[in-house]
Amino acid sequence: MTEPGTPAGAVAERATAGFRGRYGAEPAGRWAAPGRANLIGEHTDYNDGFVLPFALPLRTVVAAAPQDGERWAVWSELADSPVEFGAAEADQPGGVTGWAGYVAGVVWALRAAGHRVPGGRLAIASDVPVGSGLSSSAAIEAATLAALVDLGGLDLTDDRRPRLAQRAENEYVGAPTGIMDQSAVIRCRAGHALFLDCRTESVEQIPFDLDAAGLAVLVIDSRAPHRHADGEYASRRKSCERAAELLGVTALRDVSPAELDAALDRLDDEEMRRRVRHVVTEDQRVLDTVALLRAGRIRDIGPLLTASHASMRDDFEITVPEIDTAVEAALAAGAYGARMTGGGFGGCVLALVDADAADPVAAAVTAAYAERGFPAPAHVTVLPTGGAHRLP
């Protein structure tokens, strides 16, 4: 990652140059979608709960043009070779694998929903780091979706797009994720965090004007290798769904903090009890964070962020030593709060800091990594930006 978040122009130029180089023609347009960080509300989305992500100034850009027939050609600056597929592969979940599966998954989901998807040529460039928990896959899905919707003149409003992109990821690619990432990269607005009720998909844009408050969010990429992240994610999800079943509720969202102790008493399994405690308390932390932000008290959310981290570390057990080290070092260096963001088992930490403290806090994290013998982390200072859109 680079400091302080690359302008959209540079990545858009790379997508355009890639398109010209690969296809020897001009693209009909360019569509951008951001990565996201989740301010708070982790592993609550698939429990029908609450999340509060914001869009990052790191973007994926798709330069695209229609082509005749039901064929799609995709080039990416991050891949060794381009990929081409037709309707047969697009209509078969898993028919295209690897990075291009996110593109094919969107074609599949659109076709499955009855849309007439135009054939197309696409070139992808991206500043969203892959495998860092900042939703690089949702960014590809959202930018591809925006491109195909515009090129085909399809009728698909923003509020219906996240579910469709999520289907691409769940059913075509086969990753059992919730609705947060696709919602964030499509529906976020600049200067705001997106308060999403994952049961109803209703959203509220919550003012999160870090700049005006003299604050910044420092995103630290732990560079920790993802350790069995897919299997662990699926097992956390299963455990939550089983707990809801045992408690006789539709989802853990239906257990209130006041009912938590009684609910825990009804579960025999100690590990499952910890999982439930995380989800129920995390939902409440999202609501408390939203209340503080509505009151303009951004600094005061720090302790909630840090409490969220402790809950992910001790109850949901999804952190790793590099991540915990980054959180501890950021807090010791004066961050108001810090927590892992995203699915876990590696990925990124975010720390809420005074804007002029971002560098010293980052330096303290780097020093703590050196002391522990971890490879140096990357970092970037970010302000909340907007969701997927067509570039002028």
Look-up of token digits 């800091």? 353
144-146-150 Cα angle (round to 5): 115
Minimum CB distance to ligand GAF, residue 159 (Å): 18
Catalytic, 181? Answer yes
When asked if residue 342 is in the footprint of ligand GAF (CB under 6 A), the reply is: yes
Which entry of 181, 221, 283, 315 is annotated as an active-site residue? 181
Minimum CB distance to ligand GAF, residue 56 (Å): 13
* Between 45 and 127, CB nearer to ligand GAF: 45
When asked if residue 283 is in the footprint of ligand GAF (CB under 6 A), the reply is: no
When asked if residue 180 is in the footprint of ligand GAF (CB under 6 A), the reply is: yes
* Between 234 and 262, CB nearer to ligand GAF: 234
Which residues are registered as beta bridge partners of 207? 192
Q: Which two tokens stand for residue 25?
A: 């023609």
Tell me, rounded to whole angstroms, the distance of Cα 312 from its chain centroid: 17
Nearest CA-CA partner of 161 in 181, 135, 137: 181
Query: Per CB under 6 A, which region of 74-82, 143-151, 172-180, 383-391 contacts ligand GAF?
Result: 172-180
Query: Per CB under 6 A, which region of 15-23, 37-45, 81-89, 108-116 contacts ligand GAF?
Result: 37-45
Evaluate the omega torsion of the peptide bond into residue 4 and state whether it is cis, within 30 degrees of 0.
yes
When asked if residue 49 is in the footprint of ligand GAF (CB under 6 A), the reply is: no
Can you tell me the distance from the alpha carbon of 155 to that of 151, in angstroms, rounded to the nearest whole number? 11
- Whether the CB-CB separation of 117 and 147 falls below 8 Å is answered with no
- Residues 234-263 binding ligand GAF (CB under 6 A) are none
In this chain, which of 18, 27, 105, 178 binds ligand GAF, going by CB under 6 A?
Answer: 178
* Between 36 and 192, CB nearer to ligand GAF: 36
Nearest CA-CA partner of 20 in 121, 150, 119, 101: 121
SS3 120: strand
When asked if residue 280 is in the footprint of ligand GAF (CB under 6 A), the reply is: no
When asked if residue 43 is in the footprint of ligand GAF (CB under 6 A), the reply is: yes
When asked if residue 42 is in the footprint of ligand GAF (CB under 6 A), the reply is: yes
When asked if residue 181 is in the footprint of ligand GAF (CB under 6 A), the reply is: yes
φ/ψ region of 69 (left if φ > 0, alpha if ψ in -120 to 50, else beta) reads left
- Whether the CB-CB separation of 389 and 188 falls below 8 Å is answered with no
Helix (H) / strand (E) element for 241: namely: helix 229-247
When asked if residue 346 is in the footprint of ligand GAF (CB under 6 A), the reply is: no
When asked if residue 289 is in the footprint of ligand GAF (CB under 6 A), the reply is: no
* Between 137 and 306, CB nearer to ligand GAF: 137
Q: Which two tokens stand for residue 303?
A: 């302790």
List residues binding ligand GAF (CB under 6 A). 38, 42-43, 45-46, 177-178, 180-181, 342-343
Active-site residues, by number, are 181
